[in-house]
Amino acid sequence: MTRAIVVSDTVRVPDRALSVRAVRASGPGGQNVNKVATKVDVRVDLDAIEGLSDAARARLSVLCRHRLDADGRLMVSSQTERNQARNLADALERIRGLVAAALREPRARKASRPSAAARERRLEGKKRRSALKRERARDQD
């Protein structure tokens, strides 16, 4: 079975970049949890992803920095389903989402200034608050 992940027309995670391991899931479930290995751990070799630019590769490593193992491979686990195949599909979809997120370039922030009306409203509010406090001080004298 091929597990290659197609992210876009040019970017794909080949089957050789993925290593899949099934283990027993934790949590409630009785006999099913004790005897069936439904949790799936998928590791992805980030260097083997095809069609990824250097900038996107750098963004991906920043996005995944907490999920990297000692060898620099991305680790994704899934145990939400009671079925190993569905957990594998979920993990592969999450990997596809992470790579797709790394492909999007962040928009550059444009410096902006408050409008004249906004500045005026802010100063008006400050004057109102100042007057209120001034009134309180006079009442106590």
Helices 54-63 & 84-103 angle (0-180, nearest 10): 130
pLDDT, residue 29, reads 66
3-state helix, strand and coil shares in percent for the chain, rounded to the nearest 5: 50, 15, 35
pLDDT, residue 129, reads 96
Model confidence over 1-55: pLDDT tens digits? 567 888 888 888 888 888 888 888 777 666 766 777 888 999 999 888 888 889 9
pLDDT, residue 19, reads 87
pLDDT, residue 140, reads 64
pLDDT over threshold 70, residue 141: no
